[in-house]
Amino acid sequence: MPDSPRARRSAQPSRFRAHPAQVGVAAFALTIAIGTVLLMLPVARVGPGGSTLLEALFTATSAVCVTGLVVVDTATHWTPFGQVVIVLLIQVGGLGIMTFASVVGLSVLRKMSLRSRITAAAESGSVGLENVRGLLLGIVTTSVVIEVCVGALLSARFVFGYGEPLGRAVWLGLFHAVSAFNNAGFALFSDSLMSYATDPWISLPIAAAVILGSLGFPVLVQLRRFPRLPRKWVMNTRIVLAATVVLLVVGTVYLTAVEWSNPATLGQFAGPDKVLAGFFQSAQARSGGFNTIDWGQMDSASLLGTDVLMLIGGGPAGTAGGIKVTTFAVLFFVLLAEIRGEGAVNVFGKQLARAVQRQAITIVLIAVALIAASTVVLMLLTDFSLDVLLFEVISAFATVGLSTGITASLPVGGQVLLMLLMFIGRLGPITFASALALRQRPATFELPIERPIIG
């Protein structure tokens, strides 16, 4: 009796098919590895010899994961070649490896495989596969336009305000525009942007680029399509915009008030300059990573408040990190509905799916557990205080890049832990989204309902 087609297929050796989530992780890891090799070249470092493996690996990881934590000074350690490598890693990492690869594939081959579309859709925040191409092209266009505009403003300021040569000014403007929009926090000045704390022509364009990048690509694309038609905005866009405004205002008021009289931070400035610096730190705290004041001199209350802002982060499917403002907003509306005794959670006239509520709770619990465990490990490895170590851990996990100045002083084990946190913080949401996109496990039965005592 001849074998059936099904039997013949079973007898054939199975080919390994990587899950899109695995593809995303592998792509980020490969990009980090390539960046590490390039940064280890003698031509990438100022002075004789090349950088150590740890220096190059940490910098490449921080750049690809658009974090900004550093163990060496970007301005003095790296040559122009090394700085170009860093800004390219930032751009590719900010857009997303699969987004970047998909756009290149579309440009060259004019087609995308199903798995590439699924992975790119999860990475870019698309809710479906039918318009992934248009979304990806919109992402690249929006990114380039914003970076060019901000870069031009910064370059003009460096030329006319500080007398920088044109070539140097253009490079400074472009580097910081790319770093800002991608929420990377890398700067070509040893003190980040502290020399420009009272200059609105430097602070405000960079803050604007950080804020736009933190909104997330789906929001930017929709705002570009329907700039004056809020009624066409989806729930995600409305939540992100509302939460961004609220957190910017709350963060500015809180940080400015706490640091107002601190002579080492805002106390040295006049009133308007204090507000400008306070607003700038608030914008950076949610994933930007630049600083115009010394975070190592800030009050512990400011560090704790910034911990909250960093953990919340920015919009989903963008260059910001954290648990995302949508996750925070979902938990807020769940809390509000529970307090009111409502059976359903309603947001902007729409009912929130229960699956979204479960996902939000899961993400927060995993994040808190990972942050707590990592902080304990660093406490065992170092003698730094709890508030400083917690700040460093959350900054790494939320891919923010702010630091009180202890990153380079951590032992090797501590720096490796920060690299893992940056990688997990950047890839975690993408990996989970890709996994959920392919998971189909319809329930065939339901168990009896029972509830424990809560509270």
Contacts of 94 (CB under 8 A, 6+ apart): 66, 143, 178, 181, 182, 183, 184, 213, 319
pLDDT tens per residue across span 69-111: 999 999 999 999 999 999 999 998 887 755 654 444 444 434 5
Contacts of 197 (CB under 8 A, 6+ apart): 203, 269, 273, 276, 277, 280, 292, 293
d(CA 20, CA 109): 20
Q: What is the mean pLDDT of residues 260-268?
A: 95
Query: How many residues comprise the chain?
Result: 455
pLDDT tens per residue across span 344-396: 888 888 888 888 888 888 889 889 999 999 999 999 999 999 999 999 999 99
d(CA 347, CA 239): 9
Phi, psi (deg, nearest 5) at residue 351:
-85, 135
pLDDT tens per residue across span 185-233: 999 999 999 999 999 999 999 999 999 999 987 788 788 888 888 888 8
pLDDT tens per residue across span 139-189: 788 889 999 999 999 999 999 999 999 999 999 999 999 999 999 999 999
164 close to 171: Cβ distance less than 8 angstroms: no
Phi-psi region of 355 (alpha: psi -120 to 50; beta: other; left: phi over 0): alpha
Q: Which residues of 62-99 are buried (b: 16+ CB within 10 A; e: fewer)?
A: bbbbbbbbbbbebeebbeeebbebbbbbbbbbbbbbbb
d(CA 387, CA 395): 12
Per-residue model confidence (pLDDT) at position 341:
86
The label of the residue with tokens 């030329």 reads: 159
pLDDT over 80 at 273, yes or no: yes
d(CA 391, CA 135): 35
Q: Where are the domains of the chain?
A: 19-433
Phi-psi region of 50 (alpha: psi -120 to 50; beta: other; left: phi over 0): beta
d(CA 286, CA 284): 5
pTM for this structure? 0.87
d(CA 226, CA 233): 8
Per-residue model confidence (pLDDT) at position 133:
65
Q: What is the mean pLDDT of residues 284-292?
A: 92
pLDDT tens per residue across span 318-332: 788 899 999 999 999
Average pLDDT in the chain = 85
The percentage of the chain sitting over the pLDDT mark of 70, rounded to a whole number, equals: 82
Per-residue model confidence (pLDDT) at position 109:
39
Contacts of 348 (CB under 8 A, 6+ apart): 235, 238, 239
Higher pLDDT, 420 or 94: 420
Per-residue model confidence (pLDDT) at position 27:
80
Taking CA atoms, 191 is separated from 54, 102, 172, in Å, by 22, 37, 14
